[in-house]
Each structure stands twice: as structure tokens, then as C-alpha cells.
Chain A
Amino acid sequence: MWTILRKDLLLEFRTREALSALVVLMLLVLLTFTFAFDPSGAREAAPAVLWVTFIFAGLLSVQRTFLLERENGSWYGLLLTPIDRGAIFIAKMLGNLIVLALAQCVLLLLLMLFLGVPFPAAPGSLLIVNVLGLIGFSALATLFAALSVRLRAREMLLPLLVLPLLVPLVICAVEATRIVLAGGDLASTGPWLRVLVSFDVIFTVAGWMLFEQLVQE
């Protein structure tokens, strides 16, 4: 599994396509929100803007990890190896996670810049909340990207498939982020955090088990 992860990251940083496109896309969506919102209300909406921007931009870039494999049939090369399918899923998920995490850091900084959100009192908590949200998103998005990549209408279908399922994540991540940005620490995020963690665990395991089903022919 680490082999694949290493390879994917190597590929990613070699071409740097996904990361740069992702960052630019996030920037543009963020700008759109900035212009759409009344500046005084913008700070209130910051957590919401963060996650909505991130999810939409993230969905567009998550398919890349599978599209990469279609050229030259390298996907088959991968399937032929003795590597367990579940391990392939985890590797892809982590690969996505890392790219998304980097992009989200940039997004957070931009958010603070544009919307005047103050640097939080407990940056560690903010980090943890974000990472937890990222994990859940990455798990679901990676699983369904494996599915949508094989269909013609792939760009349209992935958001359709994933967005309804992400609702719990959105609700909890936004609220937890709001609490932490307002100066609370991890403990005060209480139930939101718990649900977030459950979400992450359930869908990582589900993805790990179901991935095999989506790659069979």
C-alpha cells in the first residue's frame, strides 16, 4: 500500500497539475463568495464558505487519481499486482487526502485574509477538525470516484453521488469549525466531533471493503 502511495505522490508532485488547479479553483470559488456576500456578514459565514468551497473544488479534483491510471492501461498493471484491493483504496484515499490537505491549508489562509477571520486561539484544534473532515470527505469521494470514472457522465455523476451522502459531514464540520474559529477548543466541539469521527470510521471501513466491488470487470 505504501508503495502505491509513494508512487501516486511522486506522480503528483512530478506533474503538479492537480494541486495547482485545485488551489486556483478554490481561490476563484472563494472570490465568488466574497463578492456575493455582504462583507460584514462574511465573517459569520466563514466556516460555511470554507467547507462549501472545499467540497466543490475537491470533488472536481478527486477523480484525477483514477483518471491518471487510465492512460497506458496502468490501472490494469496495478490490478495485476498481488496488492490487496482494499490497500489500493486506502492508498488512493490517502493520496487524495494529502493533496486536499495542502490545498485546504492554502484555502484557510486565504479565508483569513479575505474574510478577515482572526487566527484562532487554538490552531491545533482547527487542524484536527479540518483533518477529520478531510478524512471523511476523502473516503467517500475516493470510493465513488472509482465508480464514476468508469461511466461516461463522470463529471456530473460524482457530485450527485457524493453530495447527499456528505450532508452529515458538512453539518458537523461546519459547526465544529465555527466553534474552533470562535476560540473554542476541541472539547467544546462535543457531539459534532463525535459524529465526525464516526463518519470517518464508518466510511473508511466501508470504502476499504467495497472498493473491490467497484473495480471488478
Chain B
Amino acid sequence: MTVAQEVVVEADGLGKSFGRTPVLRDVSLRVARGEALTIFGPNGAGKSTMLRLCATLTRPTVGRLRLFGNEAVGPEVRRRIGVVSHQSFCYPDLTARENLTFFARAYGAAAPEQAAISWLDRVGLADVENRPLRVLSRGMEQRLALARALLPTPDLVLLDEPWSGLDATAADVLTGLLATAKREGRTVITVTHDLDRGLAIADRTCILHRGRIVWEGAVQPASEGQGGVGAARAALDAAYRRVTAPVAA
């Protein structure tokens, strides 16, 4: 527990319905600054919706959501959030470099062209910088998405199934960048099916099922060694099976 725990995400009795279909029900959680939370859950549990709420892409139907202490969603809040999804959110007809430059400008970066180039290097896309996104592989596309999200140095990083469709190299780059982000003190919330990878970067986990949080757990810090992660994994597995069993039956 660090001393000054700024609460980055605070949800109270959050509910979200699309029209009359409820997707999230009575979700309450708190994510402190620098924490890494991974949300697991079967399909249709409402994980993506939860992430979109935190990303300010949608607003709750009931309940309260505070981001960086603000309930109102404005440009200042959006500026501090970076989102990586299974879609890249980039323009297929623009080159990698043009895409990043655009987003750099959009986020008000001081030197957009330089920032774009430097990030292209960091994610290993420097040699394809002038090729349109359309012709890049999925792994490259996702790396670009990562660069897009992290370029404005966001305080909160949100990821929705980020490893989906990635090959091993790209997945490692992603995990590496996330670890760096964590070290830099950014708050990370990940939503995924991938139990192993999701656990590897998490401080805390929870399982979402049918719109509710049905289980929460903590991952022991790295100093405890592999045993910490292993135990967490076992607990998670058990909980997951318990939660999803009735659905399968």
C-alpha cells in the first residue's frame, strides 16, 4: 500500500443497459493509482462495456463512476486515458506515421512528428512507417494501436482483449510495454480471456459474470516469487470454473 493513494477509477453501484437490456448490474470497484487490475469473465459478461465506461465512450445508466475524481467527462479526463482494444482505432488508409502524428496532434503533444517517430521506434515499426495501415499484419497493427494509446503518456491505460490475434512476438512486445507502463506508475485495467497473460501483469483480479462482479482476488507481489502467481492462478481457475459451470451445464 503506497501512502498517497489517489483513486483513479471509482465505481459505485454502476449499471448499464442498452435500451432495456441490462449489461452491467451493481458494479462497485476502486482502482488506485499505479494498480493493475485484470478483469476476467466469459463472453457476454459485460467486460467490454465496463471498459468502455472507464474509457468515457459511454455513460452509466445508473450509479456513479468517477475518473480521477471527476464525475463529469471532459477533455482533461480523456487526455489522461489511453485505450487499446482488439480493433486498432487507427485509419487503414493512412500510413503508420501519419496515424501516430494525427493522434499526437489530437492529444496536444508538444512535438507531434517527433513523438510519432520515437514511438514508432519503440514498438518496432520504424521500417514500415510509410506503409498504409491496411497492408500491415495484425501484430503490427496492434503495436501501432499500442503506440497510439501510450503516446500521450496516459495515467490510465485500458486494454480490451489486447492479445487477441497476436503472434508470440507481438504479444511479448505488448506485455513488455505494459510492464514498462506499470513501472512508470500508470494505472492499468485489462479485460481478457487469457488467464495466464492477464494474471502476469495483474496486481488484482476480478471475475465479471452476467454483469456482476462475482469474485475478487489479489496477486501476491513478485517478491514472494513464483508461488505467489501460481497460487493466484489456481484460485482464479477454481473460481472461474465455479462461476461458469452452471452456464455450461
Residue from B57, B89, B148 with most neighbouring chain A CB atoms (10 Å): B89
User: Contacts A76-B57, A76-B89, A77-B148 given: A84-B75 contact, CB under 8 Å?
Assistant: yes
The contact of A11 among B59, B76, B94, by CB within 8 Å, is B94
The contact of B57 among A71, A72, A80, A82, by CB within 8 Å, is A80
Contact assessment for A72 and B88 in the assembled complex, using a CB-CB cutoff below 8 Å: yes
Cβ-based interface call for B108 (8 A) = yes
Interface residues on B, range: 20 to 34
- Cβ contacts B133-165/A at 8 Å (1 or 0 each): 100000000000000100000000000000000
Q: Measured between C-beta atoms, what is the minimum distance from A111 to chain B in Å?
A: 32
The contact of A80 among B83, B98, B105, by CB within 8 Å, is B83
Contact assessment for B93 and A3 in the assembled complex, using a CB-CB cutoff below 8 Å: no
Cβ-based interface call for B214 (8 A) = no
Cβ-based interface call for A81 (8 A) = yes
Q: Measured between C-beta atoms, what is the minimum distance from A21 to chain B in Å?
A: 16
Distance A78 CA – B106 CA, assembled complex (angstroms): 8
Contact assessment for B90 and A74 in the assembled complex, using a CB-CB cutoff below 8 Å: yes
Q: Measured between C-beta atoms, what is the minimum distance from A73 to chain B in Å?
A: 4
The contact of B106 among A68, A83, A217, by CB within 8 Å, is A83
The contact of B103 among A11, A68, A71, A77, by CB within 8 Å, is A77
Contact assessment for A72 and B92 in the assembled complex, using a CB-CB cutoff below 8 Å: yes
User: Contacts A3-B102, A216-B59, A217-B58 given: A82-B107 contact, CB under 8 Å?
Assistant: yes
Distance A163 CA – B93 CA, assembled complex (angstroms): 32
Contact assessment for A80 and B102 in the assembled complex, using a CB-CB cutoff below 8 Å: no
Distance A14 CA – B93 CA, assembled complex (angstroms): 8
Cβ contacts under 8 Å, A209 to chain B:
none
Cβ-based interface call for A10 (8 A) = yes
Cβ-based interface call for A7 (8 A) = yes
- Find residues 82-106 in chain B having any chain A CB closer than 8 Å to their own CB: 83, 85, 87-94, 98, 102-103, 105-106
- Find residues 37-53 in chain A having any chain B CB closer than 8 Å to their own CB: none
Contact assessment for B87 and A73 in the assembled complex, using a CB-CB cutoff below 8 Å: yes
The contact of A217 among B57, B83, B87, B148, by CB within 8 Å, is B57
- Find residues 62-114 in chain A having any chain B CB closer than 8 Å to their own CB: 68, 71-74, 76-84
User: Contacts A3-B102, A7-B102 given: A80-B89 contact, CB under 8 Å?
Assistant: yes
Cβ-based interface call for B206 (8 A) = no
Contact assessment for B90 and A14 in the assembled complex, using a CB-CB cutoff below 8 Å: no
Distance A73 CA – B75 CA, assembled complex (angstroms): 20
- Find residues 32-88 in chain B having any chain A CB closer than 8 Å to their own CB: 52, 55-59, 75-76, 78-79, 81, 83, 85, 87-88
Contact assessment for B75 and A82 in the assembled complex, using a CB-CB cutoff below 8 Å: yes
Cβ contacts under 8 Å, A29 to chain B:
none
Cβ-based interface call for A117 (8 A) = no
Cβ contacts under 8 Å, A11 to chain B:
91, 93-94
Cβ-based interface call for A213 (8 A) = no
Q: Measured between C-beta atoms, what is the minimum distance from A56 to chain B in Å?
A: 27
Nearest residue (CB) in A for B104 is A3
Contact assessment for A80 and B91 in the assembled complex, using a CB-CB cutoff below 8 Å: no
Q: Measured between C-beta atoms, what is the minimum distance from B111 to chain A in Å?
A: 14
Q: Measured between C-beta atoms, what is the minimum distance from A42 to chain B in Å?
A: 40
* 26 A-B residue pairings within 8 Å (CB atoms): A3-B106, A4-B106, A10-B94, A11-B93, A11-B94, A14-B93, A72-B91, A73-B88, A74-B90, A74-B91, A74-B92, A76-B89, A79-B57, A80-B55, A80-B56, A80-B57, A80-B83, A81-B107, A82-B76, A82-B106, A82-B107, A82-B108, A83-B75, A216-B58, A217-B52, A217-B58
Given contacts A72-B90, A82-B107, 18 further A-B contacts (CB under 8 A): A7-B91, A7-B102, A11-B91, A11-B94, A71-B91, A73-B87, A73-B88, A74-B92, A77-B148, A78-B106, A79-B57, A80-B81, A80-B83, A81-B103, A82-B79, A84-B75, A216-B59, A217-B57
